[in-house]
Amino acid sequence: MAELFARDTIKSLRKLRLLKPDLFKSFMDFDQAVFKDGAAARTKELMAVTAAHVTQCMWCIEDHTKRAKKQGATDEEIAEAAFVAMALRAGGPFAHACVAMAVTDQVNAAAEERKG
C-alpha cells in the first residue's frame, strides 16, 4: 500500500496525467491562471498557505510556503496564515456545536415528558 505522504507518492500524479491528460492539463492551466494575475503574488501565496492548512494537504503546505517565501513573505506572516487556518478549522466545530446543544435540549425535553 502506498504511504500517503511519502515523498515519492507524488510521482503517482504521472499516472493520473497519462490516464486523463485533458483533465490533468485543464487543472494545471486553471491552477496557473489563479496565481497569475489579480492580488499581489505574495498575498495569494499567503492565502494559499492558509487554505492548504485548512485542506490539510501536506504537499500544498510545502509548495505554497516555499512560493510565499520566494514572494517575500516573512516567517511571521506564514505563521499568521497558519493561525488563521487553525481558527477556521476550529470555527466549524464551534459553529456546529449548536446542533449538539439543540439535540441535548430535545433529548432532555423528551426525558422530562416521559417522567411527567
pLDDT in tens, 91-100: 888 888 999 9
pTM: 0.75
Indicate whether 43 belongs to any domain. yes
Question: Looking at residue 18, which CATH number applies to its domain?
Answer: 1.20.1290.10
Q: Report how many domains make up the chain.
A: 1
Indicate whether 4 belongs to any domain. no
Indicate whether 25 belongs to any domain. yes
Indicate whether 39 belongs to any domain. yes
Indicate whether 8 belongs to any domain. no
pLDDT in tens, 29-57: 999 999 887 779 999 999 999 999 999 99
Contacts of 69 (CB under 8 A, 6+ apart): 78
Pick from 56, 45, 51, 64: nearest CA to 5:
56
Q: What is the pLDDT of residue 52?
A: 97
Q: What is d(CA 25, CA 27) in angstroms, rounded to the nearest whole number? A: 5
Indicate whether 57 belongs to any domain. yes
CB 22 within 8 A of CB 16: no
Pick from 55, 3, 67, 21: nearest CA to 11:
3
Indicate whether 101 belongs to any domain. no
At 8, is the secondary structure helix, strand, or coil? Answer: helix
Q: Which three cell numbers stand for residue 50?
A: 492558509
